[in-house]
A and B are shown apart, each in its own frame.
Chain A
Amino acid sequence: MIHSLFIINPSGDVFMEKHWKSVISRSVCDYFFDHQRKASSPEDIPPVIATPHHYLISVYRSSMFFVAVCTTEVAPLFVVEFLHRVVDTFEDYFSECTESIIKEHYVVVYELLDEMLDNGFPLATESNILKELIKPPNILRTIANTVTGKSNVSSTLPSGQLSNIPWRRTGVKYTNNEAYFDMIEEVDAIIDKSGSTVCAEIQGYIDCCIKLSGMPDLSLSFVNPRLFDDVSFHPCVRFKRWESERVLSFIPPDGNFRLMSYHIGSQSIVAIPVYVRHSLCLRESGSGGRLDITLGPKQTLGRTIENVVLEIPMPKSVLNCGLVTNQGKYTFDPVSKLLVWEVGRIDVTKLPNIRGTVTNCHFSALYF
């Protein structure tokens, strides 16, 4: 199981370590640094690294590496999932998870890690329970604690911990009872040069913010649940009910959580809301190239499309772009070679367009 955790910043400093069994020297991270040097970008470091005595399983989140060290055969996904959960918990506690935030809250972070894992076995990972054990820091409470001499650490066992619904704490009270549901859908599509769809799939999520008193029992039904190819649920969802009636029936955790995620695969037809008409020629005359891109709406079911952002990873040879847009702003990062065009709203009467030249480095320049 998980033996130790090292948190490493992009410049290669181990700025936090936690050991759940015996202490492992941080020199074990050298193997990780070897891979880090080889990788062209931080995302490309392989998540599972074998060293002579240990296995390093890492995730890359918020420009930090969370490297777990294991000594025995483990399920890597178990570790990966746990590490992501750790980061999620930090984000939940400190509203964002960065190096400086972690450094600011060393002790809380350390207490949290200790509470989440015991001897490599996850102990309490539900944020509801953790928040009862260790109160999230906020200014008000810090001041109050200084005055009253209380601490952030609860001295009683969280009530929900061992009940059949460990995700919900008891005794929740709100004056305004409200529940919000966000439907988020990501369409992943590969579209070939001619504009026809090679493949398209939808990854969808239902995120909730529930502020209800007591023990609410909710059900949520869909107009056409058959569309889902695959679903995965928060543990609170009663699976049997879904199987028989296709209804989500659950006692929700208190606060924010992801109720369900679903997948609509390549088998069903996926409506792509926008189309892109492009003409891109990188090497036209000498070192210059041309770029002309127009966006238009497609299958929007009558809704307007907003907050459109277009990202184009340019080839390494591109030095700079001189472009004009009729709408929105564009930026080009010469280091990552990423062209970002923040389009905004798509107006059907005047389609957004970006055009201009791209500068390449000369081929001869590559050699001399």
Chain B
Amino acid sequence: MTDSKYFTTTKKGEIFELKSELNNDKKEKKKEAVKKVIASMTVGKDVSALFPDVVNCMQTDNLELKKLVYLYLMNYAKSQPDMAIMAVNTFVKDCEDPNPLIRALAVRTMGCIRVDKITEYLCEPLRKCLKDEDPYVRKTAAVCVAKLYDINSSMVEDQGFLDQLKDLLSDSNPMVVANAVAALSEINESSSSGSPLVEMTPQTVNKLLTALNECTEWGQVFILDSLANYSPRDEREAQSTCERITPRLAHANAAVVLSAVKVLMKFMEMLPSDSEFVTSLTKKLAPPLVTLLSSEPEVQYVALRNINLIVQKRPDILKHEMKVFFVKYNDPIYVKLEKLDIMIRLASQANVAQVLSELKEYATEVDVDFVRKAVRAIGRCAIKVEQSAERCVSTLLDLIQTKVNYVVQEAIVVIKDIFRKYPNKYESIISTLCENLDTLDEPEARASMIWIIGEYAERIDNADELLESFLEGFADENSQVQLQLLTAIVKLFLKRPSDTQELVQQVLSLATQDSDNPDLRDRGFIYWRLLSTDPAAAKEVVLAEKPLISEETDLLEPTLLDELICHISSLASVYHKPPSAFVEGRAGIRKSLPASARAGSEGVESTESQAAPAVIPAQDSLIGDLLSMDIGGPTVAPVAAAPAAPFGSAAMDLLGGGLDTLLGETSSSPAPPSALAASSAALLGDIFGAPAASATYVAPKTTWLPAEKGKGLDISGSFVRRNGQLFMDLTFSNKAMQPMLGFAIQFNKNSFGITPASPLQVQSPLPPGVAADASLPLATTGPVQKMEPLTTLQVAVKNNVDVMYFACQIPMHALFVEDGQMDKRVFLATWKEIPAQNEVQYTITNVMHSADTVVSRMQQNNVFTIAKRNVEGQDMLYQSLKLTNGIWVLNELKIQPGNPNITLSLKSRTPNVAEGVFQAYDNILHG
């Protein structure tokens, strides 16, 4: 006797038959009939017509029958709301039943009936059940609150169910706690406000941690997930929480393990990375992750996607586990592809030989996608581990010899990247590549090949013929290939102008006249104009030195990575997208990693606010700058230098020629320029005829923060005054291995009330090995506090890595304001007024200037000469200056012709500025 008999039908019609059976007096018959109804329902047949007959069977002592009717109700109540009311009485009665199983069943089913009228009746029984003496009923009721919230959220709030639910968090039974946590987090997720309903206090966390040890595996997942939303107050709490969670790593349920990993990864951020605890925790994390890879393929896939994130965040955890990521012949393809990704991430000098021999095997497999990715991986290996480049190139050459079409094309694409990374090293293989020209039919491979030809046109004798052959079908090419071809031919022309003039004219006319693609036309026009007006400039632009491509081409952006680390084990971690990007109607609370304890509390907020606006306003101001540059003449100098970094990258977009296509086509490589940035900015300046900077003395940049103290960030800088505005010119060099972003700057209170006038705008992200300039306008309206020495400025610079502190000296001359010229009489009166003890003397040694030079030099730096006298063959200069804070300084200089020493007497009401002023004189006159 099996259930399949429920599907046998008679001629009369199934529904009719069932109806009569349901109304049969015999219990057994009824039960059988309901079973038949359920069976039809499970396969998707519509049996809603039987609603009244089924509901009639509800009043019964037989639990199985009751359950079956309930199952039916859950499915169809929504379509028959009026009829569903008939069931209410039974539900209410069942909620009072002495048997806890029946009470729970009733409250559970009622929650599943998504009919508004029923929910009204549900409130009272639910309230009772939430306080039921039996934990089984309580835990069912907890879930029921979540169901009710989904149907009618305002009612749940009005009736105070949320508070009752929160009370359950401290229930004595761990299962009840777990379900309450699950219900609360689901309510949280769907609530429109998006703000957490439950403030996680250390007390709640403690309760949850206690329940964690005793509840079911699923409950553990819920509890761990909600713990991940908690930010411990300090290092100690983070560490003790980690300690209590670590045992979960040995759970048999993969979901528990991964949720535990999430919490640990997040809390570890708060602990000093060099502490013993973190080191031992890092060691403990590896084995469970490896074990996940021995589970079912579906689990492996999710684990691998998460490991991908973990490896990017903390490469140390799995650096010795390379072998477990080797592909097995029977892995499903989705697992294979993920494993390849991780192999590349873990590749290092130590294991590259092994990795390479594996990859070579993979490249001979049958699955096309997998082979392609393997070939690409070989290229990435070469770029990542320099020592292996040679071997990788020869492996790729071997693969090209196989003449398998897609292998060849993929190999050419990656060889192009290798050329970019190691210029002038492997060009000997170009001839082999050229042999395969005809077989290339994919745009990316064609574009790469054309780039190679253009880049090395001077070494390829028949480069013009090769490019010409591509030109024949120009109109049919993919736009990527067209752009590349245009640039390559211009490159060729610049290198061999004599015999390729015709070719370049042909391509320019094709690009500008026959094409509908605006990108292509614009680029064509720019090249054309550059070539016709100034070939030298064209050469500098088109053949400019290319920035290095970064090693890891598809690293996630660090802020996104940090956000995703908070979402380990969730769907977001599988898609590598923040949940706000794909979950419908989700209120956008973005999670972020807790700042390391040392970074202080203000760290987190400023990341969010600073990171975003860094780029966009820069572009706006850039347009303004370009305009003012054209028109404004003399005002140019300060602005042109100010946004140097963003400026450069935009210039690249316009003029970078081959570069941006290349960047575009290896869309994964974010390799932003910076070496080039400065040069092309300067170049543009030349083009538009910007005047040379004025002769204001600018102290050479000094290193303020060496890389070893700045976690890989090296900052050097100086202070300058441009057009009455004080600037802090900074150079940020990223000497770490990862891109940096989210830069922000703050000053401590200082003697002159100096404070940033606008947010720091620096190229972000800043790729490894790249230096970017930034100019920060300063205001002097900040809070004042006297420093020792007076000119000290304490600066805090923050990026995604950490907050760095350093102190620098503001050269006093930068603080001399433009209106520092005193009236002669006022000068005299003031000089007399200031008591003699305020006079300080100083000798400036080794100055070979005449008095006139001194006057003009000082004038340029806002030190104004009031009077000049010649007394006994000595030149006496009387100069005045005013500091940003309104302090006047009066000076008398004695210059004897032939004597390299100048005597300086200074009078000021606040003589402690003297030291700085002397320093300024010294610098200006020697500079």
The stretch that binds A, out of B321-329, B495-503, B849-857, is B321-329
A41 to B632, CA, bound (A): 68
Interface flag for A108 (CB, 8 Å):
yes
In the complex, are the beta carbons of A239 and B247 less than 8 A apart? yes
Could you tell me the dominant secondary structure of chain B's interface residues? helix
CB-CB under 8 A from B529, the residues of chain A are none
A104 to B7, CA, bound (A): 10
Contacts known (A47-B302, A84-B296, A188-B294); A21 close to B150, Cβ less than 8 A: yes
In the complex, are the beta carbons of A122 and B218 less than 8 A apart? yes
In the complex, are the beta carbons of A73 and B572 less than 8 A apart? yes
Contacts known (A106-B42, A157-B101); A266 close to B583, Cβ less than 8 A: no
In the complex, are the beta carbons of B251 and A233 less than 8 A apart? yes
In the complex, are the beta carbons of B38 and A107 less than 8 A apart? yes
Interface flag for A153 (CB, 8 Å):
yes
A315 to B251, CA, bound (A): 40
In the complex, are the beta carbons of A263 and B146 less than 8 A apart? no
In the complex, are the beta carbons of A73 and B42 less than 8 A apart? no
Contacts known (A78-B218, A81-B255, A265-B324); A155 close to B4, Cβ less than 8 A: no
Interface flag for B393 (CB, 8 Å):
no
A72 to B580, CA, bound (A): 11
In the complex, are the beta carbons of A266 and B291 less than 8 A apart? no
Number of residues on chain A facing chain B (CB within 8 A): 100
Number of residues on chain B facing chain A (CB within 8 A): 105
**Which residue of B114, B189, B218, B569 has the most chain A CB atoms within 10 A of its CB atom?**
B218
In the complex, are the beta carbons of A203 and B294 less than 8 A apart? yes
Convert A120-163 into 0s and 1s, putting 1 for each residue whose CB lies closer than 8 angstroms to a CB of B.
Answer: 11110110000000000000001000100101111111000110
Interface flag for B71 (CB, 8 Å):
yes
Interface flag for B108 (CB, 8 Å):
yes
CB-CB under 8 A from A267, the residues of chain B are 320
CB-CB under 8 A from A315, the residues of chain B are 366
CB-CB under 8 A from B75, the residues of chain A are 19, 23
CB-CB under 8 A from A59, the residues of chain B are 296, 298
A316 to B366, CA, bound (A): 8
CB-CB under 8 A from A265, the residues of chain B are 287, 290, 321, 324
A215 to B585, CA, bound (A): 50
Q: What's the least CB distance linking B285 to chain A, in Å?
A: 10
CB-CB under 8 A from A332, the residues of chain B are none
Chain A 196-246 residues near chain B, CB threshold 8 A: 198-199, 201, 203, 229-235, 239-240, 242-243
Interface flag for B216 (CB, 8 Å):
yes
In the complex, are the beta carbons of B173 and A162 less than 8 A apart? yes
Interface flag for B143 (CB, 8 Å):
yes
Interface flag for B252 (CB, 8 Å):
yes
A107 to B64, CA, bound (A): 11
In the complex, are the beta carbons of B112 and A119 less than 8 A apart? yes
Contacts known (A77-B303, A234-B252); A153 close to B186, Cβ less than 8 A: no
In the complex, are the beta carbons of B190 and A161 less than 8 A apart? no
Interface flag for A93 (CB, 8 Å):
no
Tell which of A73, A110, A125, A166 touches B38, judged by Cβ atoms closer than 8 Å.
A110
CB-CB under 8 A from A17, the residues of chain B are 42-44
Q: What's the least CB distance linking B301 to chain A, in Å?
A: 5
A17 to B567, CA, bound (A): 30
Chain B 201-250 residues near chain A, CB threshold 8 A: 214, 216-218, 221-222, 225, 247, 250
A-B contact pairs, 8 of them (CB 8 A): A47-B297, A75-B570, A77-B254, A103-B4, A107-B3, A188-B294, A235-B217, A239-B247
What is B's interface to A at a CB cutoff of 8 Å? 1-4, 6, 27-28, 31, 35, 38-39, 42-44, 62-65, 67-68, 71, 74-75, 78, 99-101, 108, 111-112, 114, 134-136, 140, 143-144, 146-147, 150, 173, 175, 179, 182-183, 186, 189-190, 214, 216-218, 221-222, 225, 247, 250-255, 257-259, 287-288, 290-291, 294, 296-299, 301-303, 320-321, 323-324, 326, 328-330, 332-334, 354, 357-358, 366-367, 567, 569-572, 574-575, 579, 582-584, 586
In the A-B complex, the 10 residue pairs with the closest CB atoms: A230-B287, A199-B323, A153-B64, A47-B298, A151-B64, A122-B218, A104-B2, A78-B255, A77-B255, A203-B294
